[in-house]
């Protein structure tokens, strides 16, 4: 496993934000547009705060989430709102948000309308993933109803997902879509997640979905 250990979270966020910016700049040298796919949840906020102030051609960058909880933007659990408040501000306000939420009662009803714009961002240039202590990443949760399909080569780009550990229905990019990324980073903090990630490397994808990304990812960890 390729793991970078930082002395503290400040060092991690500065280095990771700088690395992501460099990878986006490199992608924009050879392509008109670049895509950045990021996690929601509680961990990435400080990285977004730093990245949003970085100078690059943000107006040529498409930003999308790995996954979204099927809640309106007024919910404090909305990853879309997190992005709008913490990443798509300052210089990064010029980037284009590719939505992963629609105002429909269920993700199944919203999915088709979101698909084409998400597929247009593939292959991803830069992918950042988070991870839960249960070894889920994106909304690829152990025990989730559509996990087997989401991990398979036959997976569509987007799937609705329901899981015992997820309080609300989700929508997620499939493993295949996420694995299209040129550069992949896994962002984790704390001892519990570090231990979980090491365990994930020894388990099957159905038990530890994050494990399917370990061969291509750089893991960034701070206490
Ligand atoms: O919507 C989400 O919940 C995320 O995209 C999810 O995959 C997240 O990265 C992990 O659950 C870790 O979350 P924390 O950073 O909050 O621990």
Question: Which CATH number do you get for residue 94?
Answer: 3.40.50.1360
The alpha carbon of 120 is separated from its chain's Cα centroid by a whole number of angstroms, namely 17
Q: C-alpha dihedral over 85, 86, 89, 93, to 10 degrees?
A: -90
Q: Which domain holds residue 149?
A: 2-222
What pLDDT, in 10s, does the model give residues 189-205?
A: 999 999 999 999 999 99
Q: Which residues, judged by CB distance below 6 Å to any ligand atom, belong to the binding site of ligand 1?
A: 39-43, 66-67, 69, 79, 130-132, 136-138
Whose Cα sits closest to atom 4 in ligand 1? 40
- Of all protein residues, the one whose alpha carbon is nearest to atom 7 of ligand 1 is 138
Residue 64 alpha carbon to ligand 1 centre in Å: 14
The ranges of the chain with pLDDT < 70 are: none
pLDDT, position 1 = 84
Complex ipTM > 0.90: yes
Q: How far apart are CA 17 and CA 48, in angstroms?
A: 8
Rounded distance between C-alpha atoms, residue 139 and residue 209, angstroms:
9
d(CA 37, CA 122): 10
Q: How many domains does the chain have?
A: 1
Instruction: Give the span between the Cα atoms of 76 and 84, in whole angstroms.
Output: 12
Interatomic CA distance for residues 54 and 42, integer angstroms: 21
Q: What is the pLDDT of residue 185?
A: 98
29 C-alpha to center of ligand 1: Å?
31
Dig out the tokens for 62 from the structure.
Answer: 């498409």
How far is it, in rounded angstroms, from Cα 201 to Cα 203?
6
According to the model, what pLDDT value does residue 204 have? 98
């Amino acid at each position: 496993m390729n793991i970078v250990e930082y002395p503290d979270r400040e060092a991690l966020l500065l280095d990771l934000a700088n690395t992501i910016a460099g990878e986006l700049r490199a992608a924009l040298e050879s392509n008109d547009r670049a895509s950045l796919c990021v996690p929601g949840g509680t961990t990435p906020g400080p990285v977004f705060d730093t990245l949003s102030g970085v100078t690059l051609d943000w107006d040529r960058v498409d930003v999308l989430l790995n996954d979204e909880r099927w809640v309106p933007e007024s919910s404090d659990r909305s990853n879309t709102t997190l992005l709008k408040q913490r990443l798509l501000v300052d210089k990064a306000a010029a980037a284009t948000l590719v939505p992963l939420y629609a105002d429909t009662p269920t993700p199944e009803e919203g999915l088709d309308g979101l698909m084409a714009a998400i597929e247009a961002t593939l292959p991803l240039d830069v992918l950042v993933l988070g991870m839960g202590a249960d070894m889920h990443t994106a909304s690829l949760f152990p025990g989730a109803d559509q996990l087997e399909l989401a991990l398979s080569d036959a997976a569509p780009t987007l799937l609705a997902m329901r899981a015992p550990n997820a309080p609300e229905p989700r929508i997620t990019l499939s493993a295949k879509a996420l694995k299209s990324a040129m550069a992949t980073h896994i962002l984790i903090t704390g001892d519990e997640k570090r231990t979980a990630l090491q365990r994930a490397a020894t388990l099957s994808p159905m038990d530890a979905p994050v494990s399917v990304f370990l061969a291509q990812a750089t893991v960034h960890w701070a206490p």
